Structure 1
Amino acid sequence: MPKIAAFPKAFMQALCKDGSMKIADWIKLAAPLEIDGLEWYAGFLEMENRNKWPIFRRMVEDHGMVIPMMCCSPDFTHRDKAFREKEIQKQKRWIEMTDELGGKYCRVLSGQYRPELSEEEGIKLAKDCIEACLPYAKSLGITLIIENHYKDDFWEYPEFAQRRAVFSKLVSSIHHPNFGVNYDPSNAFLAGEDPLDLLYDISDRIMTMHASDRFLKYGTIEDLRKEEGGAQGYAKRLSHGEVGKGMNDYDAIFTELKRVGFDNWISIEDGVDGMGQLERSVAFLKKKIAQYWHP
């Protein structure tokens, strides 16, 4: 059966910017959720000290959980070769971080959709950089998972492979046993697209999943799609919501995942309205997993 992890979506500022929350605080908050793991983020302030990596692993494991997945944001679509090489080296460090924490899955992205990039050039740059990281990932038993992403907090431009057509092309261009997809259905809405269309394109490549939800504050999904670029509608029309209460059709999603034999980590990305919301999302997912992957 799939296992459930959680990501500290509500505490990113505190954990990554101002340091007002410590990693130990997040672990203690998450422990009562009775989940299997915690998805990690490479940008936690305390992760700068490599000597602390094994300490955090023990903290999580002492609470009966593991760290299965690493969230990080390489930018592989810059035309400057030296820039890309630095990103490759950063990705390799994140692979090492994942390994030391006991994880098996480390995120990759394509990079920023810089205005000067053609689709063909961007795919080639991202593909070449990801493939440059794969031998090292394989040597440590780590699988690189590319997410259909929206935009990293520190990026000027949205994700190059945000749209389904580009994402599917990039995924289909890379064939390696240590490469797959981290599927986030909510991010498809940010591209003005239907998450199920993307799911059916790449379901056989999905290794892990983000569980989140969105709801429209006003208007319709058609209105969202009409807005230029899709992503511009994020702040205005779309809001985070409790998993199972928003626009995602989890019955359709889980039906397809079960069909292709998915049996891996589902990491929750919500809780922005408090731990009570995260608790309800956990309960919803446990119920759905039992429904579709009953023992």
Structure 2
Amino acid sequence: MPKIAAFPKAYMHALCKDGTMKLAEWFQLASGLGVDGVEFYAGFLEMQDPSNWPSIRMQVESMGLQIPMMCCSPDFTHPDASFRSHELEKQRYWIDMTAALGGQYCRVLSGQRRPELTTQEGVKLAADCIYECLPYAQDQGVTLILENHYKDDFWEYPEFAQKMDVFCALVDAVDHPNFGVNYDPSNAYIAGDDPIELLKRVSHRVVTMHASDRYLIEGTLEDLRREESGAAGYAKRLRHGEIGKGLNDYDQIFTELKRVGFDSWISIEDGVDGIEQLARSAEFLKKKVAQYWPDS
């Protein structure tokens, strides 16, 4: 049966920028959700000192939780080789972090969709960098997961491999036992793609999932396109919503995942309107998992 983790989407600034929230506070909140684990983000302030890693892992495990996944954002599509080399160093550091926390999965991305970059160039740059990281990850017992991502909170441009055809081309370009897909249905919608069509194209490579629901608080997808490049972070008109209340069809999603034998981690990206919202999303997912994996 798939396991459920939670991600502190509502507390990213507090945990990564101004330090107004401590990880122990987040762990306490997460422990009340009835989930199996907590997904980590490499930019948590308390994770910047490696000497903290063992004690943080112990805090989580003392609450009966695991740390299965590390969310990080390498930028592998930069045209400068020295910049990419630095990104590779950061990715190896994040793999170390994942392993030290007992994690199994560490995210990779393609990088930013810079205007001068062609699809062929971007796929090659990203695939080459991912391949460089894979032996290191394998030695640590970590699987690298590529997400059909929208945009990192601190990036200027959207994800290079945001669109389905580009994402699938990059997935096809990397063939390795320690590489798979982290599927996020909401990001497919924001890319203007059909989330179910994307899932069916890559379901045999899916090893983890981000569960979320998205909606636009105003305007259209065309309005979103006009404002998503050239400004750091997410467009202001874009919001995460309560899972099961948005546009994603979780019955179709779980039907396909069950069909291909998925039995891994589903991480909740929700709760931007408070821990009560996150709790409702967790309950929704627990019921769906029990419905589709009743004998597990």
Seq. identity, %: 67
- Which amino acid in 1 is paired with 2:289? I
2:131 maps to 131
Partner of 2:290: 290
Q: CA deviation at 1:240?
A: 1.7
For the residues of structure 2 that align with 1:230 and 1:285, how far apart are their CA atoms? 33
The equivalences for 1:1-295 within 5 A come to 1-217=1-217, 223-224=220-221, 226-227=222-223, 229=225, 232=228, 235=235, 238-295=238-295
**Alignment CA distance shift 1:51-1:236 (3 Å):** closer
Structure-2 separation of matches of 1:11 and 1:268: 14
Partner of 1:34: helix, strand, or coil? coil
- In structure 1, distance between residues paired with 2:181 and 2:227: 21
Contact 2:106 2:144 (C-alpha < 8 Å) held by counterparts: yes
Q: Unaligned stretches of 5+ in structure 1? A: none
CA contact (8 A) 1:191 1:231 kept: no
Relative to structure 1, is the Cα distance of residues 162 and 290 closer, same or farther in structure 2, using a 3 angstrom cutoff?
A: same
Q: 1:80, 1:271 → 2: CA distance? A: 37
Moved more, 146-155 or 168-177: 146-155
Q: Which amino acid aligns with 2:117?
A: L
1:215 Cα offset (Å): 2.8
Contact in 2 for aligned 1:191/1:230 (Cα 8 Å): no
Q: Which amino acid aligns with 1:148?
A: N
SS at match of 2:248: coil
Is the CA contact (8 Å cut-off) linking 2:158 and 2:228 kept in structure 1?
no
Quick one: structure 1 residues 59 and 243, their matched pair in 2 at CA, closer, same or farther if it must change by over 3 Å? same
- What are the superposed Cα offsets for residues 240-260 of structure 1, whole Å, 9 maximum, x if unpaired? 211111100000000000001
**2:224·2:235 contact (CA, 8 Å) conserved in 1?**
no
TM-score normalised over the length of structure 2: 0.95
CA distance in 1, matches of 2:281, 2:95: 29
- Cα RMSD over matched residues? 1.6
SS at match of 1:131: helix
Amino acid corresponding to residue 72 of structure 1 in structure 2: C
Which consecutive residues of structure 2, in runs of 5 or more, have no partner in the other structure?
none
Instruction: Identify if the C-alpha distance between structure 1 residues 151 and 216 changes in structure 2 by more than 3 Å, giving closer, same or farther.
Output: closer
Q: Distance in 1 between matches of 2:260 and 2:171?
A: 17
SS at match of 1:193: coil
Assess if the C-alpha contact under 8 Å between 1:191 and 1:229 holds in 2: no
